[in-house]
Amino acid sequence: MIIAVDGPAASGKGTLAQGLARHYRLPHLDTGLLYRAIGLAAAGLEDQPGFEQAAIAAAQALDAGQLSDIGELTTARAGVLASKVAVIGAVRQALFDYQRRFALQPGGALLDGRDIGTLICPEADVKLFIQADSKARMERRARQLEQRGLPVDRYRLFHQIEERDQRDMANPHGGFYRAQDAHLLDTTLLDIEAALRAAIAIVDRTMARKAEP
Ligand code: CDP
């Protein structure tokens, strides 16, 4: 079974994806980490002429070992850098094969990101599109960062998330919209357990329907 989980920044898709992967015992790829790692690799040239080339080179040379320093990868700054490298077509192209291979491994997989159900794996068995209003998303991300002992400026964080949403929506290479066959799950009023229960119900229902003669 292949599960695709997409949605905007801090919508709760990462936590949900982890819970679903555990529940169904599927290998999980957080594709945002790929863009974050590349953004950080090119950070020294941010807003300078060599930025694009540095990002493309980093994408072509990406190895999974770079994804282990979760602390730095999950900062708000890495998120903004990620959305800057994510608009570069050659970066997305370089990451496409890596993500496809992961999705098509025997036994299935779960991937979360922005374009999994639309571009990376349009044939996924179940597609979820996770949504939550901007304030709830900011508050969640703020608490996540605070739990890790990082200082949080909520006003700045709100603007970073909005800036990222806008850049993502305008991305000419991304299929960052809800796939036609994706199930919408709004988590604004749901805690982690309730959101996971709702997602499991959708997956079970969809797979049961597929198994019908
Ligand atoms: O967890 P959060 O939603 O805040 O961010 P993320 O999923 O780690 O993604 C960070 C950024 O990477 C996004 O704002 C997108 O610009 C980019 N991204 C992408 O272009 N395509 C993906 N499949 C995943 C992330």
User: What integer is the mean pLDDT of 77-105?
Assistant: 94
Can you give the pTM of this predicted structure? 0.93
Q: What is the pLDDT of residue 26?
A: 98
| Pairwise CA distance, residues 101 & 83, whole Å | 23
SS3 category, 102: helix
Which residue, judged by its Cα, is nearest atom 15 of ligand 1? Answer: 83
pLDDT at 66 exceeding the cut of 80: no
Q: What is the pLDDT of residue 76?
A: 85
pLDDT at 83 exceeding the cut of 80: yes
User: What integer is the mean pLDDT of 190-206?
Assistant: 96
Using the atom order of ligand 1, give the atom closest to the CA of residue 116. Answer: 23
Indicate the residue type of 118: T
Distance 87 CA to ligand 1 centre (A): 11
Using the atom order of ligand 1, give the atom closest to the CA of residue 167. Answer: 16
Pocket test for ligand 1, best of 33, 114, 159 (most atoms within 8 A of CB): 114
Pocket test for ligand 1, best of 15, 16, 34, 35 (most atoms within 8 A of CB): 35
Tell me which CATH homologous superfamily contains domain 2-211: P-loop containing nucleotide triphosphate hydrolases (3.40.50.300)
Q: What is the pLDDT of residue 7?
A: 95
C-alpha to C-alpha distances, 97 to 38, 47, 59, 114, 145, nearest whole angstrom: 16, 27, 11, 16, 32
Nearest CA-CA partner of 16 in 101, 80, 110: 110
| Pairwise CA distance, residues 198 & 201, whole Å | 5
Which residue, judged by its Cα, is nearest atom 21 of ligand 1? Answer: 114
pLDDT at 210 exceeding the cut of 80: yes
Q: What is the pLDDT of residue 120?
A: 97
Nearest CA-CA partner of 126 in 176, 81, 70, 184: 184
Which residue, judged by its Cα, is nearest atom 2 of ligand 1? Answer: 9
C-alpha to C-alpha distances, 62 to 38, 66, 93, 106, nearest whole angstrom: 8, 7, 13, 23
User: What integer is the mean pLDDT of 57-77?
Assistant: 85
User: What integer is the mean pLDDT of 74-83?
Assistant: 91
Q: Give the chain's mean pLDDT.
A: 93
User: What integer is the mean pLDDT of 179-191?
Assistant: 95
Distance 212 CA to ligand 1 centre (A): 35
Domain boundaries, the chain: 2-211
Which residue, judged by its Cα, is nearest atom 7 of ligand 1? Answer: 32
Nearest CA-CA partner of 110 in 200, 194, 35, 195: 200
Q: What are the two backbone dihedrals, phi and then psi, of residue 79, each rounded to the nearest 5 degrees?
A: -65, -40
Which residue, judged by its Cα, is nearest atom 3 of ligand 1? Answer: 9
Print the SS3 string covering 139-189: HHHHHHHHHCCCCCCHHHHHHHHHHHHHHHHCCCCCCCCCCCCCEEEECCC
C-alpha to C-alpha distances, 211 to 31, 94, 116, 125, nearest whole angstrom: 29, 35, 23, 11
pLDDT at 148 exceeding the cut of 90: no
Q: What is the pLDDT of residue 68?
A: 77
Q: What is the pLDDT of residue 194?
A: 97
Could you tell me the sign of the dihedral formed by the alpha carbons of 128, 99, 124, 27, in that order? negative
